[in-house]
Amino acid sequence: MVAWIAKELSSKYRVGILSRGFGRRTNGFQLLDNQSSPETVGDEPMELRLLLPGIPIAVDRNRKRGIQLLASGTFGNIDLIIMDDGFQHRRVKPGYAIILDDFNRPMHLEKLLPAGLRREPLSGLKRADQIIVTKKENPVPDLQPDSRILLITGIANPNPLVKEIAKTGVQYRHLKFRDHYRYTPADARLIQKTYQESLASENQSPVTILTTGKDYVKLSRFQELADLPLHWIPIGPPIQADQKQEILNKIDKYVERTIGNR
């Protein structure tokens, strides 16, 4: 969703993105560059860089400091900053707040932490400017009926993706890892072995390894997988097509009004 909004707005405005950089092994402010890695900035920012090579992307757990540095002019003039997962970061008050509500796990049925995943009472939604229901549809790449897939996931909930792949009727195997998983050489060898076992089966159709964007930026770094057909699943925003323009119009209206009043 962040990538889609940033890409759409970048045709009219100079956009920057700020993320916490969850799971990284570094601290402080970091602007992503050619030397960045999942270890130094986190997997999701690396996926965003893969999708948006021309947009400045930074990570900082201290969002207030991150915004100040990203907007300082040091990294070019920026009209607006999209902050990923910042609704509960109370030291920063966003000008426009968007909440995503997973169709498969709606907020009103979710319990508060630690019993569930919801971080605050539903009354906090009053601070949101838009509430968008996501993942009613989970498109996957076009797959031939005789395809064979080795699916690798390290995301919070791969079930909707797995269901969509199963609907296509293709043969698939699924290696499931936990969210933000740090793959090791042993994991790469397991993937390599599983791929070779799939090839050795009686079915002679080719085997393709599919994974998510944030898994791809980690797995593609392993030499063990360098010669394997590893592909990341290109996904658009997790919203229905008829929602897109309405959502963009609301965001664009806010940005136009705000930039015009600077």
| DSSP annotation string for 68-111 | HHHTSSTT---SEEEETT-TT-TT---SS-EEEEETTS-GGGPP
Q: Give the model's confidence band at 262: pLDDT under 50 very low, under 70 low, under 90 confident, else very high.
A: low
- Please state which CATH number belongs to domain 148-232: 3.40.50
pLDDT of 78-96, one tens digit each? Answer: 999 999 988 988 889 999 9
Element (H, E) at 102: strand 98-102
Question: Has residue 48 got a pLDDT over 90?
Answer: yes
Mean predicted confidence (pLDDT) in 164-182: 93
For a pLDDT cut of 90, what percent of the chain falls above it?
73
Could you state, in order of their start, the residue ranges of all structural domains in the chain? 2-135+238-260, 148-232
Q: What is the per-residue pLDDT for 261? A: 65
Q: Give the model's confidence band at 57: pLDDT under 50 very low, under 70 low, under 90 confident, else very high.
A: very high
Sheet containing strand 57-59, edge to edge, reads: 30-31, 57-59, 15-19, 80-83
* Residue 238 CB partners (closer than 8 Å, separation 6+): 1, 100, 134, 135, 138
Contact (CB, 8 A) for 255 and 80: yes
Residue at token pair 């293709």? 170
pLDDT of 181-209, one tens digit each? Answer: 999 999 999 999 999 999 887 777 889 99
